[in-house]
């Protein structure tokens, strides 16, 4: 049952890839959730502007100013939270990439496959 170094390398690369598969999946999910929160914040900002514009055009009172004072900071908060969540996902990806890149068990082609990078 002696294995050649090349087949052993393939087995190690496969095991290594499986080890990090779920971690990369979590990192991508966190990044996507952050993107969703940012999009929600952006939509809230647009909705706030439209609602304020409609209220000003119909009433002419100071009520739209109150809406802007309350609505824009809430929408901006959602956008900023989305940026932070997305950044956490990117940081996790970078950390995983560093671990994969420093593995002595993998060659460059195998590293690219584990990190889901396009092969040349």
pLDDT digits (tens, 9 = 90+) for 36-84: 999 998 888 888 878 777 777 777 666 666 667 777 788 889 989 999 9
Mean pLDDT of the chain: 80
Residue 10 resides in a domain: no
Q: Does residue 54 lie within any of the structural domains?
A: yes
Does residue 30 belong to any structural domain of this protein? yes
Q: Report CA-CA distances (Å) from 100 to 29, 79, 96.
A: 19, 32, 6
The label of the residue with tokens 């496959």 reads 113
Is 6 inside any structural domain? no
Task: For residue 28, name the pLDDT band (cuts at 50, 70, 90).
Answer: very high
Number of domains in the chain: 1
In a domain, 119, yes or no: no
Domain span at 49: 24-114
* Token pair of 62 as six digits: 């100071």
Residue 52 within any structural domain of the chain? yes
- Using CA atoms, how far apart are residues 82 and 98, in angstroms rounded to an integer? 24
Q: Can you give the pLDDT at residue 114? A: 81
11 belongs to a structural domain: no
Is residue 4 very low, low, confident or very high in pLDDT (cuts 50, 70, 90)? very low
């Amino acid at each position: 049952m002696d294995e050649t170094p090349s087949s052993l390398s393939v087995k190690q690369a496969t095991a290594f890839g499986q080890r990090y598969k779920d971690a990369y999946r979590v990192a991508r999910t966190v990044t996507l959730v952050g993107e969703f929160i940012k999009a929600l914040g952006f939509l809230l900002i647009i909705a706030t502007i439209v609602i304020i514009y409609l209220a000003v055009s119909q009433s002419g009172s100071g009520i739209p100013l109150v809406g802007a004072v309350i609505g824009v900071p809430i929408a901006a908060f959602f956008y900023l939270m989305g940026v932070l969540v997305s950044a956490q996902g990117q940081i996790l990806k970078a950390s995983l990439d560093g671990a994969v890149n420093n593995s002595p068990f993998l060659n460059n082609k195998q590293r690219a496959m584990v990190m889901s990078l396009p092969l040349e």
